């Protein structure tokens, strides 16, 4: 399943720090493969890795304000929390799946357990 974490509204020129996001991904999955070939506007930087649940992939929109995640839900929640931590607190983030079966606000300081509870309540 594909999940998204996206900044809503005007970002004022902000974009995610790609190096910081890469470092966080590497800390969880040390054997990550990184492809920085621009494949499309939604696939400007791709991380591929092996999770406990099987292969996973995350890719960044070229604007640096949306992360797509083809991973199990628990890994998507972890990635969304990392993205939130790297995003200024005044920006609004939404975490959802591509089918919009759930759509939750991701506030600064939200924990993995809290986001899991929000997703379960919304789904």
pLDDT band at 122 (very low <50, low <70, confident <90, very high): confident
Average pLDDT over residues 44-62: 93
Q: Is the pLDDT of residue 123 over 90?
A: no
> For 105-120, what is each residue's pLDDT tens digit?
999 999 999 999 999 9
| Between residues 36 and 5, the one the model is more confident about | 5
Who's near 20: CB < 8 A, 6+ residues apart? 86
Average pLDDT value for the chain: 93
- Report helix, strand or coil for 52: coil
Residue range 67-108, pLDDT digits in tens: 999 999 999 999 999 999 999 999 999 999 988 889 999 999
50 Cβ neighbours under 8 A, 6+ residues apart: 29, 31, 56
Q: Which domains does the chain have, with CATH numbers?
A: 2-122 (3.30.310)
34 has which bridge partners? 47
């Amino acid at each position: 399943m594909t999940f998204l974490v996206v900044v809503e509204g005007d970002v004022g020129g902000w974009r995610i720090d790609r190096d910081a996001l890469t470092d966080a991904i590497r800390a969880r999955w040390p054997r990550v493969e990184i492809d920085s070939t621009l494949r499309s506007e939604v696939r400007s930087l791709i991380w591929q890795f092996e999770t406990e649940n099987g292969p996973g992939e995350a890719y960044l929109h070229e604007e640096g304000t949306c992360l797509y995640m083809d991973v199990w839900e628990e890994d998507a929640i972890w990635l969304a929390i990392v993205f939130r931590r790297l995003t200024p607190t005044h920006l609004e983030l939404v975490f959802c799946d591509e089918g919009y079966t759930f759509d939750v606000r991701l506030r600064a300081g939200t924990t993995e357990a809290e986001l899991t509870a929000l997703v379960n309540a919304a789904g």
